[in-house]
Amino acid sequence: MIPPVLTDRRWLVLTGAGVSTDSGIPDYRGPGAPVRTPMTYQELVSGPETQQRYWARAHVGWSRMSEAQPNATHHALVELEAAGRLSGLITQNVDGLHEKAGHRDVIDLHGRVDRVICLDCRELSTRDELQARLSVLNPGWADQHATMRPDGDVELDDTSGFAVAGCSSCGGRLKPDVVFFGENVPKDRVERCYALTEAAEALVVFGSSLQVMSGLRFVRRARANGIPVVIVNRGATRGDDLADVKLDAGCAETLAAWSGTEVTTGAPV
Where in the sequence numbering do the catalytic residues fall? 110
Please give the Cα distance from 174 to 123 (Å, whole number): 9
Residue 193 in marked binding region: no
142, with CB counted inside 10 A (0-12, 13-18, 19+), is middle
| 208 annotated ligand-binding residue | yes
Asked whether residue 18 is marked as a ligand-binding residue, the answer is: yes
* Residues β-bridged to residue 14: 90, 205
d(CA 27, CA 96): 15
The answer to whether 160 is annotated as binding is no
The answer to whether 30 is annotated as binding is yes
Q: Is 118 annotated as a binding residue?
A: yes
User: Quick check: helix, strand or coil at residue 192?
Assistant: helix
Calculated CA dihedral for residues 13, 14, 17, 22, nearest 10 degrees: 0
- Is 32 annotated as a binding-site member? yes
Is 25 labeled as ligand-binding? yes
First to last CA, the chain: 31
Residues of each annotated binding site for NAD(+): 16-36, 92-95, 207-209, 233-235, 251
Annotated binding site: 16-36, 92-95, 118, 121, 167, 170, 207-209, 233-235, 251
In the annotated binding site for Zn(2+), the residues are 118, 121, 167, 170
